[in-house]
Amino acid sequence: MTPLIEVRGLCFRYEDGTAALRGVDFRLDPGETVVLFGPNGSGKTTFVLHLNGLLSGEGTVRVCGLPVDKRNIPEIRRKVGIVFQDSDSQLFMPTVLEDVAFGLLNRGFDRAAAISRAQAALATVGMSAAASRAPYHLSAGEKKRVAVAGIVAMEPEVLVLDEPTASLDPPGQRSLAELVSHLPQAKILVTHDIPFALALCQRAVFFQGGVIAAEGTVEDIVSRFDWDFSFGGSKLRH
Ligand SMILES: Nc1ncnc2c1ncn2[C@@H]1O[C@H](COP(=O)(O)OP(=O)(O)OP(=O)(O)O)[C@@H](O)[C@H]1O
Ligand SMILES: [Mg+2]
């Protein structure tokens, strides 16, 4: 079986000299949902930005067998949809509806079809009422939902969500988990939200200092790295 994503020996250094990735090996198979855990600054966002060619380091990244290089970028970007950690870098059109339709229009959908697909995607994330509002006036959680709609509307084969629940209220987190669990794609979720990962992911990898230090089930990785709030939580209650 060809993996959807196969990464070997990926290394990346930012211009200021920060070595953010130091030899990452990773694989995503069809139908899988994998969570990327790891401390702040461990390289998770840098890693996912390599999956559709937004960053390019040393080593190999393949999507459905295709190397991520200049020649294949348009096809790779159709296959891998990334919802960025920072919604402001994703939303730039004057209205929410135009923002969600933007990628579809860019891909050659006619206007009516793009608008109707964008409206359906906004309904999926519970943001239909905001269709004519300006994205930059929305709250952080509302922006996140609109950014998710923009990617879901494109129907990619692999969905990458970088900290999708970070600014959502608890019911919003639940509804996003519900929404994501019903999407048919293979998924990579970057999150510090353990209930969200437990609900959705069959496998967890743990980033540390720019490498994947371990992988296993979500429960395994959480207990191995003491990666939850339970100890602090119980102390705080007393
Ligand atoms: N544009 C940049 N220029 C220089 N260094 C950067 C840049 N972006 C990230 N870094 C550095 O690269 C390393 C990895 O950062 P990255 O954003 O990938 O971490 P992360 O695991 O996503 O963290 P978080 O959990 O906080 O989102 C960090 O040391 C960070 O300071
Ligand atoms: Mg990050």
pLDDT in tens, 52-104: 999 999 999 999 999 999 999 999 999 999 999 888 888 999 999 999 999 99
Interval between CA 221 and ligand 2 midpoint (Å): 19
Model confidence at 200: pLDDT above 50: yes
The residue whose CA has the least distance to atom 6 of ligand 1 is 14
Rounded distance between C-alpha atoms, residue 231 and residue 40, angstroms: 20
How many whole angstroms from 19 Cα to the centroid of ligand 1? 9
**Is the backbone of residue 155 left (phi > 0), alpha (psi -120 to 50) or beta?**
left
Measured from the Cα of 42, ligand 1's closest atom is 21
Whole-angstrom distance, CA of residue 20 vs CA of residue 13: 6
Percentage of residues of the chain with pLDDT beyond 90: 80
44 lines ligand 1 (CB under 6 A): yes
Q: What are the chain's domains?
A: 5-86+157-237 (3.40.50.300)
**203's tokens:** 């496998």
191 CB near ligand 1 (under 6 Å): no
Question: What integer pLDDT is reported at residue 89 of this predicted model?
Answer: 85
pLDDT at 238: 52
Asked whether residue 233 carries a pLDDT value surpassing 50, the answer given is no
